[in-house]
Structure 1
């Protein structure tokens, strides 16, 4: 699991012009209550804003506000979606739902990898790509970025991975400068396989390293040592064929300040083009949560440790000349564009291929059926193998403006106001509170996050989404469109 997989699962966003209605301006703003966002999401005072602005980090679930489509209407609704042309560019996400093992920190594990599934799996995906490429949804406008994520795409055999990349290039209407990223892990990649993917047309490689410390890696279930990770990345960089990036996670069990500093220093020394730094999420009921609860592994880093680790990484990278282009992603060279993540968070339509991949277009989101055997049976039956089809909320364009603005470190309040009249006035007390607490700075109609505000970005996002929810409830109470 890496950057694109996180993005495809953590943010359900719709194309900017998806036909969803704008909200009319309210007769009067909502009155504050004890449950009002301006109270519930107020920052603590008299504390360090970086480490203690809130009691915990909060997250927005991908399906928040979505309206499920009833089972009886799924086929007809999805048929309308795929037969409606796009007017705007899109991204494509290809999901490879196999892993060599279930790493403790990962909440997305689906299937144990077996070498004998490689060829048949790629046959299925290429056939799916070819089939959907004929639809107006896919064929009508260019695709600006493709992300092959998982799971572990690098588990595929070299010739099968190359066939997958070649199939994408052959069948999809890719833009001339389309970025095709292959995600992988150290253990099962290898230089020869990377070269095969690049020869087939991949243009970017992203590795889920998480840590270069061998002890930390092994406790999490990673098979390759830190030295093997460094050697492989050195080899990829030496090819000089494509931008190379990796992910690091802060807050891992057994990771202290020294180890984290060494992780970031190692990434810098390798000459990578891009680096993402993420906070550890301990999934409730997941393998890491169970292992910590049973005393089999050290506890995860505290919230304060995560905050200081994030700030330390930001300071170290920017001091070495790296440029921060989003909350978590840094670039060293101009050829690192990170197009998929930036486009998906800015509201691009997403065309989904493979078991468990999430898609979105024309005001709807969906997920491909996860079970491989069930998908094959549905395709053989002439049915579209999708599930979880839902209609985006009316405020979704406002959600996108909030998410992408805070992700980039600068929220344009007028953009949100244009999608949700009344938002700027309703959000003003909360944004003023955050500014006074040291989480951001107000400049006319823009709110720019500080380093502390960037760390708490997901909590700020949740707070502003709550403002939108309160506006909708107030509108309904004042006799507007029902919530």
Structure 2
């Protein structure tokens, strides 16, 4: 059994072009690949979530690798001092009273969820404090948050605790407080060092300030310092992008993510472009060239490649949470707007502060939405993880999937190879699909296409495979 030929349409296999890097597909339409799921009725949220945290759910058992439970903790801080023009996730402008009220409620949720049987049953390998802008908390709150997590949650001895944030106002006092709280990895959304690009994107601080601050933090040598760089922003041409890369290397930071701008409706940037107040962001072909330049620069500086868009200067930077979150690892969510998954169910907490604070005050779970993950969720996650790594292994994929999904997709892989996205190796000893440079650029699109193909396989067909 294999993929029917009629499913191998252009949106799945791409264009047959001499330049698949730039013209293989029309454009990237999503930051992440996804699959199908079944919503849970709202009146079942409380009882189901309670059962999951009590370890009494009849759903499939938690994710394991070699028999070891794999789990992460995600904590969401939904405040930003300024909304970036490209951001579609802005929730609340920071104010001291709002932040203080929220932090008090978050501490209540943290203690309550930490004492649940499910939580205490196995240690957490990674913790990520995301947002929003977590560094809009005070230095005292950041230290308290880290200490509360370490005090109440079972953590592995090498647990990665990441604090995300802005360079702006992240002074020495805040850094020392975060270290005192137990944070051992820091991720900053620089996006671009160029002053004009930053200002037009509503990023705070000019190039020299950001460059100097990242350099100083990296020189502390207390924890890995990682930055995000975004390519394709308005005013950011190839020359500026090359300077952004050079500036990163000059900082001495320990890791970097190179993300392409994915234009989404509803962002301030889309509105400003429509009104003629910002130039059009870079098109797909230019962004592909920027990606190519970034990969070449990382290779030239002998950085370790941890995924298709993340590099490490040395082995201190592991990017553990980001890697595990793309697998079947379970993620416990804390805070307004936090998302996660437990026992085969996806969970999204209240995005509004009113809804979140009211739930905490009432002593109920702050759950806004729950979904039952599909029976092929493990396959979907294995695909996403493989494409993020840049290589699909038959053995690893089929161990997760439980059926011969690799063989089923061979016609798809062959079409991709013909179009320049992958190299297919199907010798008796080794069966892999390795992404080319073009395939790495289009990794999310290819993963979405493969998930689309296998989603058409019904349950009975899977069992027969």
Task: Report the Cα offset of residue 439 of structure 1.
Answer: 1.2
Once residues 297 and 34 of structure 2 are traced to their aligned partners in structure 1, the CA distance between those partners, rounded to angstroms, is 36
Q: How big is the shift at 1:238? A: 1.7
C-alpha displacement of 1:443: 1.5
* 1: CA distance, partners of 2:334 / 2:364: 15
CA distance in 1, matches of 2:408, 2:55: 36
Does the alignment pair 1:44 with 2:5?
A: no
Q: Deviations over 1:233-271 (max 9, x none)?
A: 111112111110100000000001110000011001111
Aligned to 1:171: 152
Paired residue secondary structure (1:393)? coil
Counterpart Cα distance in 2 of 1:214 and 1:319: 26
266-275 or 438-447: bigger deviation: 438-447
The answer to whether the aligner puts 1:428 opposite 2:404 as a matched pair is no
TM-score (norm 2): 0.93
Shift of residue 217 of structure 1?
0.3
Q: For 1:368-383, what aligned pairs fall within 5 Å after superposition?
A: 368-383=349-364
Contact 2:2 / 2:407 at 8 angstroms: preserved in 1?
A: yes
In 2, Cα distance between the equivalents of 1:204 and 1:370? Answer: 26
Is the CA contact (8 Å cut-off) linking 1:166 and 1:201 kept in structure 2?
yes
Question: Equivalent residue of 1:148, what SS?
Answer: strand
| SS of residue paired to 2:167 | coil
Q: State how 1:19-168 maps to structure 2 within 5 Å.
A: 28-29=1-2, 31-33=4-6, 36-37=7-8, 39-59=10-30, 64-84=35-55, 88-168=69-149
Q: Which 5+ residue runs of structure 1 have no aligned equivalent?
A: 1-27
Task: Find 1:359's aligned residue among 340, 361, 368.
Answer: 340
TM-superposed CA distance for 1:58, in Å, is 4.0
- The residue number in structure 2 matching 1:180 is 161
CA shift digits 1:353-389 (9 cap, x unpaired): 1100001011001111112222222222232111210
Cα distance in 2 between the residues matched to 1:238 and 1:171:
31
What's the CA shift string for 1:68-118, capped at 9, x where partnerless? 001222222111111118561311111000000111011110000012333
Instruction: Kindly indicate whether the alpha-carbon contact (under 8 Å) linking 1:359 and 1:366 is maintained by their aligned counterparts in 2.
Output: yes
CA RMSD of aligned residues (A): 2.0
Q: Which residue number corresponds to residue 65 of structure 2?
A: none
The equivalent of 1:410 in structure 2 is 391
* TM-score normalised by L of structure 1: 0.89
- May I ask how many residue pairs the two structures share in their alignment? 450
* Alignment-derived partner of residue 286 in structure 1: 267
Which stretch of the first structure deviates more once superposed, 157-166 or 43-52?
A: 43-52
Residue 270 of structure 1 is matched in structure 2 by 251
Query: What is the CA distance between 1:222 and its match in structure 2?
Result: 1.1
Residue equivalent to 1:336: 317
8 A contact 2:337–2:351 mirrored in 1: yes
Corresponding residue number in structure 1 for 2:456: 470
Gaps spanning 5+ residues in structure 2: where? 57-61, 63-67
